[in-house]
C-alpha cells in the first residue's frame, strides 16, 4: 500500500459496490411484502384493509358504475382471491358507506373517494422515497420481468383452477 501524507492510495479509491444478486421469487416476494407492509400500516390508520382498498380503487377508476359481479371480476383479477371473499369485502365497503348501491350498480361515495385520496396522499411521499433514484433502465427491466412473471403465474393459476 502506498502512503501519501496521511491518506493511503487504497482509501482514496471509490468503493466498488458488490454485484447485485439475481432476482429470485424470494426477493420479489420480499420486496412485495415490504411495500405492502407500508400500505397496510397506512390503511390500518384509516380503518381499512388492503382488499377494501383494491375494491375501492376498482370502483373509483371504473369508466362507469360497475355491477357487483363486474367489481368482483376486477378485484379477482388483481388479488386472485375467492369471489365469495371479494363479495364480503364489497359488503364491508357498503356497510362503511364507502360504496353505495345505485340500482344494480355499486359506486363510490364521497367518503370512499376521500378515504382513497387520503391514503394516496399519505403513501405518495413514501413511494417517492422508495422508488426515487432508481435508474429508468432498471425500472424498465424490472417492469418487463414482473410482467412476464405475472403472465406465467396467471397461466399456472388458470391451469390449477380449470
Per-residue pLDDT tens listing for the chain (162 residues): 444 454 444 456 667 767 777 889 999 999 999 999 999 999 999 999 999 999 999 999 999 999 999 999 999 999 999 999 999 999 999 999 999 999 999 999 999 999 999 999 999 999 999 999 999 999 999 999 999 999 999 999 999 999
Asked whether 89 and 52 are in contact (CB, 8 A), the reply is yes
Rounded CA-CA distance 117/112 in Å is: 9
Contact 112, 65 (CB under 8 A): no
Is residue 128 helix, strand or coil?
helix
Between helix 110-131 and helix 50-61 the angle, nearest 10°, is 110
**Contact yes or no for 15/4 (Cβ under 8 A):** no
pTM above 0.85, yes or no: no
How is residue 61 written as a grid cell?
377508476
- Give the Cα separation of 75 and 58 in Å (integer): 7
Amino acid at each position: 500500500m502506498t502512503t501519501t501524507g496521511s491518506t493511503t492510495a487504497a482509501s482514496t479509491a471509490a468503493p466498488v459496490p458488490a454485484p447485485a444478486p439475481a432476482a429470485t421469487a424470494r426477493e420479489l416476494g420480499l420486496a412485495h411484502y415490504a411495500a405492502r407492509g407500508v400500505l397496510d400500516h397506512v390503511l390500518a390508520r384509516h380503518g381499512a384493509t388492503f382488499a377494501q382498498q383494491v375494491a375501492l380503487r376498482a370502483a373509483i377508476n371504473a369508466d362507469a358504475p360497475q355491477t357487483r359481479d363486474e367489481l368482483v371480476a376486477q378485484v379477482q383479477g388483481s388479488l386472485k382471491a375467492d369471489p365469495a371473499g371479494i363479495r364480503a369485502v364489497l359488503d364491508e365497503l357498503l356497510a362503511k358507506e364507502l360504496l353505495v348501491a345505485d340500482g344494480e350498480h355499486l359506486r363510490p361515495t364521497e367518503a370512499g373517494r376521500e378515504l382513497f385520496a387520503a391514503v394516496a396522499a399519505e403513501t405518495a411521499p413514501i413511494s417517492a422515497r422508495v422508488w426515487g433514484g432508481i435508474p429508468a433502465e432498471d425500472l424498465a427491466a424490472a417492469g418487463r420481468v414482473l410482467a412476464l412473471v405475472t403472465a406465467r403465474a396467471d397461466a399456472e393459476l388458470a391451469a390449477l383452477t380449470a
